């Protein structure tokens, strides 16, 4: 019987979670990237092999790339985008030559995933990630002071956001600003206000329709290359799956995915099925997306969320939330048997436990919370697989 291939994410040699710590969890696969290489530059074979050897020395294999970043010029279809696309194609070929055949990426403009709170306190004392739209509106209008930001909110929203901000201390405002402008995973520097405003200006004339055209044009150039060298390109859904700071979003819904896959038919053009990102939008039917696009799934991010009124959501325990995780995993098990493949999976994000509270961790990526999620998902899959074999 085909089972999910269990992996953990690792941000490279500077990660506070060490490879030996991950090895002791029982996983055999590592999800990582060459974060030190500037976005857009080619990933050389020698650098890939060096990182592979480092991981092998710890008793594991580099199985999935997360992420091979897409240069902003490509997303805007401007500047030196043709050079960056050629470099992207070469990096895909180099990864395939080294035996790595799943590449995750996203097409979110300016910022990667974002949350307003990185240490929201749960009733049991653990800390989790949370997105609060009022906190974000306060950041957008009154802290970042994005030109024209106020026009994107109603009068009542602006009043509520301002009231929200008045209740924050100076240190809480500073934390909010830092949380939202967190740098890319694996980076050591956060974005500055000036950097973000400059990047936003570059998207002033790009709406959803244009960004979708740019994504499809990019995929038409890289998917055939990936198909030829047997690499699955796994696009990560928008996180959160709705517009922030007036930026376009084109990978937020099942309909978005259908358009992308219809426009670029190569099976290499696929999906990172992230239940947390898709599940933060109540209208997304995760089981329907799994059913319709199961043959396009190259990588699994399994996590759960609890949604509240007004687009507030927080990350919950992996098996307890608004996403029907038991049914999702049951359908994944069935999908793998039909496709005769073991899909790579990692437990995405996790709670920060008090034992690790003093350590420095990239938000959502402390060890104990992810180990708990991994154990729960392992047990769930094992029980489902055992029942299927009995039947």
Between 188 and 342, whose confidence is greater? 342
Pick 5-113+212-308+316-390's CATH classification: 3.40.50.2300, 3.90.550.10, 3.20.20.150, 1.10.579.10: 3.20.20.150
Pick the closest to residue 346 from 323, 373, 366 (CA basis). Answer: 373
- Cβ neighbours around 155 below 10 Å, total: 8
Distance between CA 256 and CA 237 in Å, rounded?
A: 10
pLDDT in the model for residue 184: 65
Per-residue pLDDT band for 125 (boundaries 50, 70, 90) equals very high
Between 389 and 68, name the one with better pLDDT. 68
- Checking if the pLDDT of 383 tops 70, the result is yes
pLDDT of residue 261: 98
Identify the pLDDT of residue 190.
77
Buried b (16+ CB within 10 A) or exposed e, 127-139: bbbbbbbbbbbbb
Query: pLDDT tens digits for 229-261?
Result: 999 999 999 999 999 999 999 999 999 999 999
Residue 361 has pLDDT above 90, yes or no: no
Confidence of residue 380 (pLDDT cuts 50, 70, 90): very high
Q: What confidence category does residue 188 fall into, taking pLDDT thresholds of 50, 70 and 90?
A: low
Q: Is the pLDDT of residue 314 over 70?
A: yes
* Domain coordinates in residue numbering, the chain: 5-113+212-308+316-390, 117-180
**Which helix (H) or strand (E) segment is 56 a member of?**
helix 45-57
Q: Pick the closest to residue 301 from 279, 335, 276, 268 (CA basis).
A: 276
Percent of the chain with pLDDT over 70: 98
Which residues are the active-site residues? Answer: 236, 274, 301, 348-349, 365
- Cα 322 from Cα 314, distance rounded (Å): 10
Distance CA 322, CA 100 (A): 34
pLDDT in tens, 362-378: 889 999 999 999 999 99
* Over residues 333-355, mean pLDDT: 96
CA–CA separation, 295 vs 314, rounded Å?
A: 29
| pLDDT tens track for 189-225 | 778 889 999 999 999 999 999 999 999 999 999 999 9
Outline where DSSP puts E strands in 138-251: 232-235
């Amino acid at each position: 019987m085909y089972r999910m291939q269990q992996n953990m994410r690792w941000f490279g040699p500077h990660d506070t979670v060490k490879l030996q710590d991950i090895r002791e969890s029982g996983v055999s696969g590592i999800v990582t990237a060459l974060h030190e290489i500037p976005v857009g530059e080619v990933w050389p074979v020698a650098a890939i092999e060096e990182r592979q050897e480092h991981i092998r020395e710890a008793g594991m294999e580099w199985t999935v790339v997360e992420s091979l970043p897409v240069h902003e010029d490509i997303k805007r279809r401007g500047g030196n985008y043709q050079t960056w696309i050629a470099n992207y194609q070469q990096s895909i070929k180099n990864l395939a030559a080294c035996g790595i055949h799943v590449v995750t990426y996203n097409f979110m403009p300016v910022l990667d995933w974002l949350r307003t709170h990185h240490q929201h306190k749960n009733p049991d004392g653990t800390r989790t990630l949370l997105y609060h739209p009022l906190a974000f509106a306060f950041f957008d209008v009154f802290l970042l002071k994005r030109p024209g930001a106020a026009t994107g909110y109603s009068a009542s929203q602006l009043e509520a956001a301002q009231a929200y901000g008045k209740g924050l201390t100076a240190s809480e405002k500073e934390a909010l600003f830092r949380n939202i402008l967190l740098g890319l995973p694996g980076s050591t520097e956060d974005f500055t206000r000036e950097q973000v405003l400059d990047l936003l200006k570059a998207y002033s004339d790009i709406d959803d329709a244009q960004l979708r055209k740019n994504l499809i044009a990019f995929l038409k150039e890289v998917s055939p290359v990936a198909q030829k060298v047997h690499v699955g390109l796994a696009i990560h859904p928008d996180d959160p799956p709705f517009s922030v700071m007036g930026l376009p979003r084109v990978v937020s819904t099942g309909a978005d995915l259908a358009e992308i896959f219809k426009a670029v038919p190569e099976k290499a053009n696929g999906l990172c099925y992230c239940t947390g990102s898709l599940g933060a939008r109540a209208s997304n039917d995760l089981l329907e997306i799994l059913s319709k696009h199961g043959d396009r799934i190259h990588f699994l991010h399994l996590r759960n969320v609890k949604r509240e009124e007004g687009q507030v959501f927080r990350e919950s325990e992996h098996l307890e939330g608004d996403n029907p995780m038991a049914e999702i995993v049951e359908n994944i098990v069935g999908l793998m048997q039909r496709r005769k493949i073991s899909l790579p999976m990692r437990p995405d994000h996790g709670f920060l436990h008090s034992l690790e509270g003093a350590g420095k961790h990239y938000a959502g990526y402390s060890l104990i919370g992810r180990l708990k999620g991994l154990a729960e998902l392992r047990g769930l899959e094992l029980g489902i697989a055992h029942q299927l074999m009995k039947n």
